[in-house]
Amino acid sequence: MYTQATILIVPGLRDHVEDHWQTLLQAKLEKVRSVPPLTENKLDCRARMDNIQREIERIEGDIILVAHSAGCLMVAHWAAHYQREIKGALLAAPPDLNAQWPPQYPTPASLREHGWDPLPREPLPFPSILAASTNDYLASFTAASQLAHDWCSNLVNLGDVGHLNPASGFGPWPAAETFIEELDCCLTTCDV
């Protein structure tokens, strides 16, 4: 797949997982970068935002953000604090900071302690697609729909795909390429 824009992968809290769809997508694309993992302060929201900004500053031309899980929340925080024109964003399976998460994840309370809450709820200043599952164990479809509404994102119901990660059976996620192509060519921001 070729895009005019550079794709910037924004992983979730687990950073780069070898068989994750984001990692596999990155290997397929020509114009792609990824936000590197932090070596310290891994739960600190500000450190995550600054890490995104450092990577964005290295890119010339149009950018499409491709975020998963907590990466979606990072994008919302980044957009509320930094100014850079972004062509669009694919936001896949954002978690709900008000939900009860399985024990293998950081608790929403620990994320709140590290600056993730309050989550920016204003419309994003760029077109976005929010792809959500109806059986995600980190966020209900209702919670994801509210985020899509708040951020002025086009909501896509993916059906029962869990958290859209290897534990839910994803490896490759070919639909990501379709969504990226939509963002690369033709989506516009909504009027609120």
SS3 66: strand
**Beta-carbon count within 10 A of 22 CB:** 28
- The pLDDT-based confidence of 192 (bands split at 50, 70, 90) is very low
Summarize pLDDT for 34-85 with one digit per residue, the tens: 999 998 989 999 999 999 999 999 999 999 999 999 999 999 999 999 989 9
Tell which residue, 3, 2, 17, has the closest CA to residue 170: 17
**What whole-number distance in Å separates Cα of residue 122 and Cα of residue 172?**
31
Written as six digits, the tokens of 165 are 């990660």
Q: Which domains does the chain have, with CATH numbers?
A: 6-185 (3.40.50.1820)
Integer Rg of the chain from CA: 15
Written as six digits, the tokens of 151 are 């951020």
Written as six digits, the tokens of 149 are 């509404």
pLDDT, position 133 = 97
